[in-house]
Amino acid sequence: MSEATHRSRRAPPTALRARPARRGRPNASQAARLAEHIVQIARAMFYEEGFEETTMDAVAHRAAISKGTLYARFPSKADLFRAVAETQVEQWSDAATQAAPTPPGTPLATALRLYGTSILAAACSPEARALERLVAGGGERFPELAAQFEAVGFGRGVALVSALLSRDAGPEDTPKDAEMAAKAFIAMIMGWPRGEADVDDLARRALYVERAVAIFLQGRSQW
């Protein structure tokens, strides 16, 4: 083999060799998908292992990301748990809204019964009860988690009902304080599971919603 042929088969100079493409920073859509992926992984682990036993290292490993990537988005386990709780509550709120369509013109009593029933269905689901137990367990070390979980769920319900009370009101029955009235209604609805031995008794649940709506509407002059 000639010297020229030998040189032609040598590897190209370093400057000409193909280099791996640099990975740029994720765009907004990619970042959102990554955060959603992390939250889904963390939610499964919190349910399976509990708050105390779930570690950030384990979450990063199962999510197939670096610890740096995880901590850049969720600086602590409390922050990650808060994201799990908020995401779950938002999903339940969206499901409750879709399960209780109340187009304009729907009688208020009917709309409130639909909302009350769908909110209780979400609050009494096995997933909601499991998350509530997790919040209670984590609340021993992070008491603000329990308060925030309560505020997120309560706040979404208040926003839904407040908008409903104001939507179809005429000049003479416009609520003086729709938000306060909505808080009273949501407090009645969400308080039911705490005093019941069997939250899966659908007939008793429906009866409670019916009576709560009736009591609420009887006090309409005070809104």
pTM to 2 decimal places: 0.62
The CATH class of 28-75 is: mainly alpha
pLDDT tens-digit series, residues 16-60? 444 444 455 778 888 889 999 999 999 899 888 888 889 999 999
Q: CB-based contacts of 165: which residues, under 8 Å, 6+ apart?
A: 108, 175, 178, 181, 182, 223
Structure tokens at 18: 């193909």
Task: Report the C-alpha gap between 73 and 104 in whole angstroms.
Answer: 41
- Binned at pLDDT 50, 70 and 90, residue 101 comes out as low
pLDDT tens-digit series, residues 102-147? 677 788 888 899 888 888 887 788 777 777 777 766 556 666 666 6
Task: Report the C-alpha gap between 139 and 22 in whole angstroms.
Answer: 43
Task: Report the C-alpha gap between 204 and 97 in whole angstroms.
Answer: 22
Q: Where are the domains of the chain?
A: 28-75, 82-222
Task: Report the C-alpha gap between 120 and 116 in whole angstroms.
Answer: 6
Interior CA angle at 129 toward 137 and 143, to 5°? 30
Domain at 82-222: CATH code: 1.10.357
